[in-house]
Amino acid sequence: MPTIRFQLNGATVAVDADSDQTLLDVLRGRLGTTSPHFGCGAGECGACYVLVGDRAMASCDMPMWSVADKQIVTLEGLGTAEQPHPLQRAFISEQAMQCGYCVSGILISAAALLKRNPSPTEAEVRAALDRNLCRCGSHNRMVRAVLLAASEIATS
Amino acid sequence: MSAPSPAPKLPVSLAANPKLSSWVKFIGEGRVAVSPGKVEIGQGIVTALAQIAADELDVEIGRIDMIRASTAASPNEGVTSGSLSIQQSGRALRHACAEVRQRFLAAASERLGVDASLLGVEDGTISGPGNIRTSYWELSDHVSLDHDAIAGIVAKSSATRSVAGHSVQRVDIPDKVFARSRFIHDRALPGLVHGRVLRPDVSGAKLIALDEGLAGAVSGLVAIVRDGGFAGVVADSEAAAEAALKALRKGATWSAGEPLPDENGLAGFLRSQPIETTVIDTKAAATAKATRTLRRQYTRPYIAHASIAPSCAMARWDRDQVHVWTHSQGVYLLRADLAIVLKVPPANIIVEHMEGAGCYGHNAADDVALDAVLLAKAAGGRPVRVQWSRHDEMSHAPFGAAMAIEIEADLDADNEIVGWRHAIWSNGHAARPGRATQPALLAATEIENPYPRMISTNPPAANGGGGDRNSVPLYDLPAWTITSHRLLTMPVRTSALRTLGAQGNVFAIESLLDEIAALRGEDPIAFRLRHLRDERAREVIRAAARRAAWKPERRSGIGHGVGFARYKNTGAYCAAIAEIEGTDEIRVRRLTLAVDVGEAINPDGVVNQIEGGAIQVTSWVLKERVRFDQTRITSTSWTDYPILTFSEVPAVDVEIIQRPEIEPVGAGEAAHGPVTAAIANAIHDCLGIRVRDLPITRDKIIAAMELAS
């Protein structure tokens, strides 16, 4: 079983893993990083998204061999209650969820969007979140929250 | 002489669980534990209930710890469903907290030597003239709450409430934004092991032989469990459990299963099955003469709950006692079913709630709890966590029932309605656990001495009915007969999904009314208002119309439609106006809604529920149907069961008509029926065609256009 090293939320981790084991399994299992959620196991719902470098990607079908030496950021690494990311603040102020199970993946997609496009239009936000499913119907609140975070970043 | 006022009664949940201490306790330094029997299922109920308690107790909401429901201690409030939590739990808590406050004021009065009427409470501190003061916490050793609540306690007037009626931020959202585990899926109990259950692809197939050899060799395996046709694995990691399940599947031999109906002939199937017929309501015919009768049939397909999380549960045995963690909507009801299956007294079972993903009715939450309990028997006292696959969630969990609805409207020479016959063919809309002598849980149909699959029934009309929910028009029509035909066969497993039959019935009624208004050349809103006497109903329609600037000028390719209902005819009033654009592909651009829930405890929470309902049902209307062939459910992934995406979601604009003096009702299911009808009616406005079979897809529109030309 090879040892695979990568950066998780800024810290180096080394795990012994089968190279075809999924990143989600390693994160939620041995590493106890539970914000990426299992939704479908097929990369179709977005609940398990993590940042790989600057891109939001499904971790449920991402084999560990492909993670070696990558920078992985999960919601745990985005910000904290003490030092929140503007997106986290905005999701609270817009009350942008119902159940919130999809929210960690959506925050990751939104973070990736704001990195590559700090002042997106509403249509660009929607397009960026299109691969994330929400069943409760909180989409519009989330879009408003992302736009609020973008404007906060722009004025800070 | 006026009639004597009736003796005061306790709110229903408090009458069933009268001990005050089961609802409220003062704990620790400056904390209040509030313990409702209703559970958080993503609807924000816990926050609204905390607001009610904060108001009546006069404490800051931040001091309140909302205790998750558990059969170990919580009041038994049945099931969190039917948009009843504010009505039931909210009223009980308001009453209980008002009495608790009163008891503490009496104790403070005695201690401080001041009349209770001179004392006030501010954030739990009780004070009076001359700077005298004490607090709930100082007095809590001296005031027993182990008393039964008394009827007749008067809660605060709406004008003196300062928390209820305001948009307080939800108590659970910071945890969810900052990745602090609240979901059952994320909770790691010490020594946790993982289970998976083997289920057939073919509908109704039974496990008849199992070669365990391959699975037995999987590294990390703890146990293979077999109990008749129920089989599963326990392993020390999720990956190992998945690998073992995959190996076990290779060794399984299944029976042929039971045939499924034709997915493209649902009305024919529903209308040809053995049925139980109930006349829901009749209204005597007037003398007016019909000159013709419109007969229309409407259908809706089976609809999946399709929560973003697959169902999950944990269970741990300790000798003959079992502790279960679940996102079930009813901890006591689940316990009752588990007791039947396990043949142990309910007292040996603790069922404790933990949050799951958004829940829209009776999904697989209860099923997976029994799975975990059965697998945990083989785990040597370690807790077992079971999580269903997406495939099983989309094929083995109960679905919302398909419906065929036929309405015959008798019209006079002026196209006024003089007679109305509404008939429903559908499976029952509820097969929930804990309400029958047989269990409703999936694994109970698979074990060595299996129980039959519970055939869904309909809740009684007094509880809003099931397939017949919202089938009696709120409109002032001169005569009607409403009939419900409940299927006695159930090849596709169905149970409660948001609104039960109301979505289908409101779609049918509001579509036909629209058609009749158009026949008369009458504005559809004017037509509705002319037939409604209930002032709250009229006001939500007028409010939605004002907000949407009804009726916007006609533009090519754009259509507008309206829909209205009062949920269950006793709950929230909701009117919806849809703006759509389209040719053969429909896009819903904007939904404008007005809603009246009486007192809105948390107005933003109400808006959130209405927005969510409106968006979810837009997805149902445009996209969703459970797919199947003759032998199996085929819509087992998001590719095969697509739902609305961010780019497809309409703008949603909601107006609340606040009525603080009127008892509050829930908002979670109010939007579904009205929005469904509003979209269908907007399509007619835009394209001149009526699509009467949901979902309204491109194919259906093209077929309707061909029929019309």
Secondary structure E strands in B56-130: 64-66, 120-122, 125-128
pLDDT tens-digit series, residues B444-472: 999 999 999 999 999 999 999 999 999 99
- Both A26 and A56 in one domain: the answer is yes
For residue B643, the one-letter residue type is I
- Both A105 and A54 in one domain: the answer is no
The residues in A 93-112 lying below 8 A from B, measured between CB atoms, are 95, 97-104, 107
Secondary structure E strands in B450-535: 480-487
Residue A109 has pLDDT above 60, yes or no: yes
- Both A91 and A122 in one domain: the answer is yes
From A31, A58, A78, give the residue that closes a domain: A78
Residue B285 has pLDDT above 80, yes or no: no
- Both A93 and A147 in one domain: the answer is yes
Closest CA to B10 of B166, B212, B151: B151
CB contact under 8 A, B308 and A133: yes
Token pair of B335 as six digits? 């316990």
pLDDT tens-digit series, residues B179-227: 999 999 999 899 999 999 999 999 999 999 999 999 999 999 999 999 9
pLDDT band for position B410 (cuts 50, 70, 90): very high
Residue B299 has pLDDT above 50, yes or no: yes
CATH of residue A111's domain is 1.10.150.120
High-pLDDT (> 90) share of chain B, %: 94
pLDDT band for position B10 (cuts 50, 70, 90): very high
Q: What is the mean pLDDT of chain B?
A: 96
Residue A108 has pLDDT above 80, yes or no: yes
| In contact, B224 and B231? CB cutoff 8 Å | yes
φ, ψ of residue B404 in degrees (nearest 5):
-120, 130
Give the residue from A30, A35, A51, A135 with the most B CB atoms within 10 Å of its CB, the best one to mutate.
A135
Contacts of B608 in chain A (CB under 8 A): 95, 98, 138, 141
| In contact, B579 and B685? CB cutoff 8 Å | no
The pLDDT of residue B1: 43
Contacts of B181 in chain A (CB under 8 A): 34
pLDDT band for position B584 (cuts 50, 70, 90): confident
The pLDDT of residue A118: 96
CB contact under 8 A, A45 and B638: yes
**Distance from A63 to chain B by nearest Cα, in Å?**
13
φ, ψ of residue A33 in degrees (nearest 5):
-95, 100
Give the residue from A20, A101, A109 with the most B CB atoms within 10 Å of its CB, the best one to mutate.
A101
Whole-prediction pTM value?
0.97
Per DSSP, chain A holds a count of helices (H) and strands (E) of 6, 5
pLDDT tens-digit series, residues B475-531: 999 999 999 999 999 999 999 999 999 999 999 999 999 999 999 999 999 999 999
DSSP structural state of residue B284: -
pLDDT band for position B153 (cuts 50, 70, 90): very high
- Both A49 and A101 in one domain: the answer is no
CATH of residue A55's domain is 3.10.20.30
Contacts of A41 in chain B (CB under 8 A): 389-390
The pLDDT of residue A1: 84
pLDDT band for position B4 (cuts 50, 70, 90): low
Residue B611 has pLDDT above 50, yes or no: yes
High-pLDDT (> 70) share of chain B, %: 99
What's the complex ipTM? Answer: 0.98
From A32, A52, A78, give the residue that closes a domain: A78
Count of all residues that appear for chain A in the document: 156
Domains along the sequence of chain B with CATH: 12-177 (3.30.365.10), 186-256+306-396 (3.30.365.10), 403-429+465-708 (3.30.365.10)
**Domain residue limits at A111:** 86-155
CB contact under 8 A, A99 and B188: no
Give me the number of domains chain A comprises.
2
How far apart are alpha carbons B447 and B441 in whole angstroms?
11
- Both A73 and A91 in one domain: the answer is no
The pLDDT of residue B3: 58
Tell me how far the alpha carbon of residue A17 is from its chain's centroid. 22
Token pair of B481 as six digits? 């007969």
Contacts of A43 in chain B (CB under 8 A): none
From A78, A113, A129, give the residue that closes a domain: A78
pLDDT tens-digit series, residues A5-23: 999 999 999 999 988 899 9
pLDDT tens-digit series, residues A48-74: 999 999 999 999 999 999 999 999 999
Residue B707 has pLDDT above 70, yes or no: yes
How far apart are alpha carbons B695 and B621 in whole angstroms?
5
pLDDT tens-digit series, residues B533-578: 999 999 999 999 999 999 888 899 999 999 999 999 999 999 999 9
Give the residue from A99, A102, A104 with the most B CB atoms within 10 Å of its CB, the best one to mutate.
A99
- Both A99 and A126 in one domain: the answer is yes
**Distance from B300 to chain A by nearest Cα, in Å?**
19
CB contact under 8 A, B638 and A97: no
Residue B154 has pLDDT above 50, yes or no: yes
Token pair of A153 as six digits? 């970043």
| In contact, A46 and A132? CB cutoff 8 Å | yes
